[in-house]
Copies of this chain bind each other. A is one copy, B any other.
């Protein structure tokens, strides 16, 4: 019984994989459970207790074979510690061993984008692809790079920090202290800013998405702007990596083609020699908001690969 737990800024989500994979090798989620994240100012132990509670609920109180843990923020290369996560209390915290003690089963730890990439490449939108880029579009932008079926970790475990690649010189200020970072133009935060600044609205991301789905032209225009900027950055990543497929995940991507279609158009426009090369398909995540938890469960089942 393999369980994956994703610890995000607002909630802790656990999924339990079905013991028998589907006949076609697809991964099946047998149960899931969600508990609130205690908050960034809570003690570390409160977050770890929330993880244990989510595991308990997803397994109906049984002890899992192994648990995979997905965390927002920076996870050290060895998968022992969460170094820093803006919306979580953990600071250089030995989370893996602490949770292992609480759940009574072996625990593996990785960051949420790497886990999501593992899910998509093992059993999702990038399944069977020799290489893939995953871009997660949420409040900010995260991501991961997969080569030969393995998530590229980088020299310090920090590969895939796509959100802070500069796309506009002296551009919009970013929370990271720099200016012109990609995530200022192609994220949930960007979506809200476009609505606010250009269109005078004060909707949050999910409200903009609802309006756009309802046909509101201003909201659609906001997604077109964000999607176009998404395509600009994706074109750069395609030039650099030449992946077989680009998977777009994260909360904002739930709106689907309203975001992806402008991104696809821009990718064709902004990619050098697009007419002379294989342009990778730009596809939505298969596992959606569960991608990181599913990937964590696969990490528990298969190891880091």
Looking across the interface, which residue of chain B has its beta carbon closest to that of A174? B272
The verdict on A288 contacting chain B, using a C-beta distance below 8 Å, is no
Digit string of A148-165 for contact with B (CB within 8 Å is 1, else 0)?
000011111111111011
Chain A interface residue count, CB cutoff 8 Å, equals 46
Q: Which of A53-61, A199-207, A240-248, A255-263 contacts B (4 or more CB under 8 A)?
A: A240-248
In chain A between 267 and 284, which residues have their CB closer than 8 angstroms to a CB of chain B?
A: 270-273, 276-278, 280
Given contacts A154-B131, A157-B242, A162-B240, contact A84 B235 (CB under 8 A): no
Q: Are B152 and A147 in contact (CB under 8 A)?
A: yes
Contact of B278 with A178 in the complex, beta carbons under 8 Å: no
CB-CB nearest in chain B for A280: B155
Q: Does A65 lie at the interface of the complex (its beta carbon under 8 Å from any beta carbon of B)?
A: no
Tell me the smallest distance from the CB of A240 to a CB of chain B, in Å: 6
Chain B: which residue is nearest A181 at the CB level?
A: B272
Q: Determine how close the nearest CB of chain B comes to the CB of A285; give it in whole angstroms.
A: 19
Contact residues in B for A270 (Cβ distance below 8 Å): 166, 178
* Number of identical monomers bound together in the oligomeric complex: 2
By DSSP majority rule, is chain A's interface helix, strand, loop, or mixed?
A: loop
Q: Does A237 contact B (CB under 8 A)?
A: yes
Q: Does A94 contact B (CB under 8 A)?
A: no
A147-B147, A236-B236, A273-B176 as given contacts; A241 in contact with B154, CB under 8 Å: yes
Minimum C-beta distance from A27 to chain B (A): 24
Complex Cα distance, B271 from A174, in Å, reads 12
Closest B-chain residue to A244, C-beta based? B155
Chain B, residue nearest A133 (CB):
B240
Closest to A130 in B: B155
A232 CB within 8 Å of chain B? yes
Q: Smallest CB–CB gap between A275 and chain B, Å?
A: 9
A169 close to chain B: CB less than 8 A: yes
Pick from B157, B159, B239, B278: contact of A164, CB below 8 A: B239
Neighbouring B residues of A129 by C-beta, 8 Å: 155
A158 to B278, CA, bound (A): 10
Q: Are A165 and B280 in contact (CB under 8 A)?
A: no
Give A residues with C-beta under 8 Å from B.
Answer: 84, 129-131, 145, 147, 152-162, 164-169, 174, 176-178, 181, 232, 235-237, 239-244, 270-273, 276-278, 280
